């Protein structure tokens, strides 16, 4: 007889994976539509990302003469790392689907793995712009990851555990009392990291077509067909997972504390609503400020680390 805990794990994992996979292109569509409306444009429809993915998936990838096995097998590895991270983050409930399989450090490591493999793929293609985009992305990630880890460390220190499920349950239990100075500083640091990790203004322009200014898009310039569809979907899914981490670690209010259909459905709707809020914030940034010069990005990303360190200091000195 199959234990009930195993059945719960499988059902939660399946539900969260299906919701994340279906919602990721929609979240990207809402960002593009809001950005277009703020710029007095009509903008693409909400189904356009799904059409793009279907169109690319129906074509075979074309490879340059310099491409090797790295560029060929990198897209599924990148997508697999992001999908695994998605199952380690609680969304509808305070319990992650793969409870006990990994904590926030594993999630950060999976993000780093996906980035490293994508950068290798861009270099393996042999294009000039792919190499330039990968070098810039790796440099930005080296500046953003300290802020990411330190911000999550503040939430982990408050909850007494690095498990995102325990952190989320602690936040739900604390209620409005969770929102102290240390917590808000860590949340602000993580918000800056989300902007950097997802390639939005002022760090990157997700809609640029100028090769000399591309960072993330530069790494995809040699991809085509199913490879391009896989990498684009992985980047859309990464935004959803980061928004879920942000919600679970810093604003877990509304998450279900018991495994029952009603609380899970309510927690899922509230979780998707919080993701939409994150997306609208990114759209507002894209429409209101210009892309910063790359030499000024260390100051912005250093600010994230300083905010996170300040939050950690307050947490230690004034718990």
pLDDT tens-digit map of 51-64? 999 999 999 888 87
pLDDT at 117 over 70: yes
* Peptide bond connecting 235 to the previous residue in cis, omega within 30 degrees of 0: no
Give whole-number Cα distances, 273 to 27, 119, 152, 247, 270, in Å.
Answer: 10, 32, 22, 10, 5
How high is the pLDDT of residue 2? 45
Structure-model confidence comparison of residues 218 and 121, the more confident one: 121
Q: Which of 64, 9, 32 is nearest to 232 (CA)?
A: 32
pLDDT at 122 over 80: yes
- Spatial separation of the C-alpha atoms in residues 111 and 108, rounded to whole Å: 5
DSSP alpha helix (H) spans, the chain: 4-38, 48-57, 69-86, 104-124, 128-159, 164-174, 181-198, 216-219, 225-250, 261-288, 297-317
How high is the pLDDT of residue 10? 84
How high is the pLDDT of residue 63? 81
Confidence of residue 93 (pLDDT cuts 50, 70, 90): confident
Confidence of residue 167 (pLDDT cuts 50, 70, 90): very high
> 213-250: per-residue pLDDT in tens?
678 888 888 889 999 999 999 999 999 999 999 999 99
Polymer length of the chain: 319
pTM metric for this prediction: 0.94
pLDDT at 104 over 80: yes
Confidence of residue 46 (pLDDT cuts 50, 70, 90): very high
How high is the pLDDT of residue 319? 62
How high is the pLDDT of residue 228? 93
Confidence of residue 316 (pLDDT cuts 50, 70, 90): confident
pLDDT at 315 over 60: yes
Q: 241 with 235: CB under 8 angstroms?
A: no
Q: What is the mean pLDDT of residues 97-106?
A: 86
> 273-311: per-residue pLDDT in tens?
999 999 999 999 999 998 888 888 999 999 999 999 999
Structure-model confidence comparison of residues 43 and 282, the more confident one: 282
pLDDT at 94 over 60: yes
Provide the residue ranges of all domains of the chain, joining segments of one domain with +: 4-317
How high is the pLDDT of residue 19? 95
How high is the pLDDT of residue 212? 64
Q: Measure the CA angle with vertex 201, ends 197 and 204; round to 5°.
A: 60
């Amino acid at each position: 007889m199959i234990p009930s805990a195993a059945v719960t794990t499988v059902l939660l994992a399946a539900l969260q994976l299906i919701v994340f996979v279906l919602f990721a292109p929609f979240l990207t569509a809402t960002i593009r539509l809001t950005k277009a409306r703020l710029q007095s444009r009509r903008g693409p429809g909400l189904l356009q990302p799904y059409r793009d993915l279907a169109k690319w998936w129906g074509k075979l990838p074309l490879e340059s003469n310099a491409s090797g096995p790295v560029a060929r097998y990198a897209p599924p590895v990148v997508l697999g790392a992001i999908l695994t991270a998605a199952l380690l983050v609680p969304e509808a409930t305070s319990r992650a689907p793969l409870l006990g399989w990994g904590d926030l450090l594993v999630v950060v490591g999976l993000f780093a793995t996906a980035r490293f493999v994508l950068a290798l793929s861009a270099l393996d293609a042999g294009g000039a712009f792919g190499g330039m985009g990968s070098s810039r992305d790796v440099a930005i990630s080296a500046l953003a990851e300290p802020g990411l880890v330190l911000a999550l460390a503040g939430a982990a220190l408050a909850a007494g555990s690095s498990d995102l499920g325990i952190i989320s349950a602690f936040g739900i239990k604390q209620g409005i009392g969770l929102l102290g100075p240390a917590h808000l500083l860590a949340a602000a640091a993580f918000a800056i990291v989300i902007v950097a990790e997802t390639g939005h203004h002022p760090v990157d322009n997700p809609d640029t077509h100028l090769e000399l200014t591309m960072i993330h898009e530069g790494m995809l310039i040699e991809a085509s067909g199913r490879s391009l569809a896989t990498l684009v979907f992985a980047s859309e899914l990464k935004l959803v997972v980061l928004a879920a981490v942000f919600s679970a670690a810093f604003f877990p209010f509304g998450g279900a504390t018991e495994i029952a259909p009603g609380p899970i459905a309510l927690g899922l709707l509230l979780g998707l609503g919080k993701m939409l809020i994150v997306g609208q914030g990114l759209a507002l940034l894209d429409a209101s400020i210009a892309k910063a010069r790359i030499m000024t990005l260390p100051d912005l990303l250093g600010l994230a680390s300083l905010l996170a360190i300040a939050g950690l200091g307050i947490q230690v000195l004034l718990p």
